[in-house]
Amino acid sequence: MTTPPVYHNLIGGRSVAPVSGRTSENRNPADTREVVGIFPDSDAHDVAAAVEAARAAYDSWRLTPAPKRGEILFRAAQILVERKEQLAHDMTREMGKVLKETRGDVQEAIDMAFFMAGEGRRLHGQTTPSEMPNKFQMSVRQPLGVVGMITPWNFPMAIPSWKIFPALIVGNTVVIKPAPDTPLSTFHFVQALADAGLPPGVVNVVCGGAEAGEALVAHPDVKVISFTGSTATGARVTRLAAESMKHVSLEMGGKNPMIVMPDADLDLAVDGALWGAFGTSGQRCTATSRLIAHRAVVGELTERLADGAERIVVGNGLHDASQMGPQINQLQLDKIISYVQIGSAEGARLVTGGMRLADGELGHGFFHQPTIFADVNRTMRIGQEEIFGPVLSIITVDSLEEAIDIANDVPYGLSSSVYTRDVNAAFRAMRDLYTGIVYINAPTIGAEIHLPFGGTKATGNGHREAGTQVLDVFSEWKSIYVDFSGSLQRAQIDNN
């Protein structure tokens, strides 16, 4: 066994050990015998140092022309392209999902870098005609200052890219606290930015758990908090941030429905449901957690899904044969096991799966079978609560209207989908599904980077990530008026 590498916080461009000396191990969830690295368990002192470094770098960075900021992002994208395979390999080691998926995670960061680099030459505002003579008016974006970011473990490079790149392009500086389970991918990401020429202190990394997170949210010099994680933690973030009137962007849970109508292409629907439910081991806020199927097809669909789930090869994500990796940690595995017990106790029919996988090498990781419940009632906990694991609940309906009603009848509203060949039904679903994302004939996967990503109800607080809409999270509008009339003009007073 090799000695695992030791990492420190990145503050002001330097590697800085945590003040307390506390550390935590980052272990491979597919094989807990492997320690990926030793990382800081930071506290408020470390957070304060990182915020001060970001604050000191802010004035210089905000005055760097936006096109020049974009050029750094463009170079970072090129570096990520060059390092993609190694970054994906390390991400699989610390997060567990299979290599095809971690390559996609890195690619999403690449796409976001190229997209936001281009915004450095846009950042459009408005010019409008004045109601007064000899007067010019326009609006421009302005940065806010230091942005605090708290990111999850399931997409440890893609999600930081959704936050860091748009924050940087409008001129903010950043302190990011990655999830304790996946800090290495964030270090790799920020290293690419540094190698691309990002000045020291513009992005700082502080590792740790809730103590560091709360210190970041509460720090008075942090002007914006961008959080992705559980709804319970998001509520806590909102309360803490409100005390200092911070801007807050929240992306939280999902209980995403996939509706299958009688006229659907069932081959396509089966493929979509298997990927939507069991991709990333179900550990996605956009995972297909509920399959709402018409009574005319639910029987055949259930049989074919069970057959497909039983064929999924579960194993170490580094192995080419593996199609689904482990849960991230013991706590998450225990949660899945608990929900399987809840579903059975509620009277749902366990169709397939339901067990931890612990034979041979799998016994060293946090593996669980792909699991399907049928005969699920809309009010059951497994039909209402986010499980965040490889558990699919099948609900039977008799009409599209009933399906949409059930789809909307959960606390969340992130992603939804409908499989149908009826264009009228598709457009009714697009209109009536109350989610931030709607797919037609595709599962409840996430958004492409050039459209806004986010949800309704308990999924978020109205902001969006990705697309140009994300710029509104990290900037404020300034309206500017230039009166060249040479006389006092009193707008509505002189214009009535």
- For the annotated catalytic residues, the residue numbers are 251, 285
Check: CB of residue 395 under 8 Å from CB of residue 291. Answer: yes
Per this entry, what is the length of the chain? 496
Q: Which two tokens stand for residue 400?
A: 């599209």
Check: CB of residue 223 under 8 Å from CB of residue 145. Answer: yes
Checking DSSP bridges between strand 456-457 and strand 412-413, what pairing results, if any? antiparallel
Sheet holding 9-11, edge to edge: 14-16, 9-11, 203-205, 173-177, 146-150, 222-228, 247-251
Residue owning tokens 């612990």: 358
**329 backbone φψ class: left, alpha, beta (φ>0; ψ -120 to 50):** beta
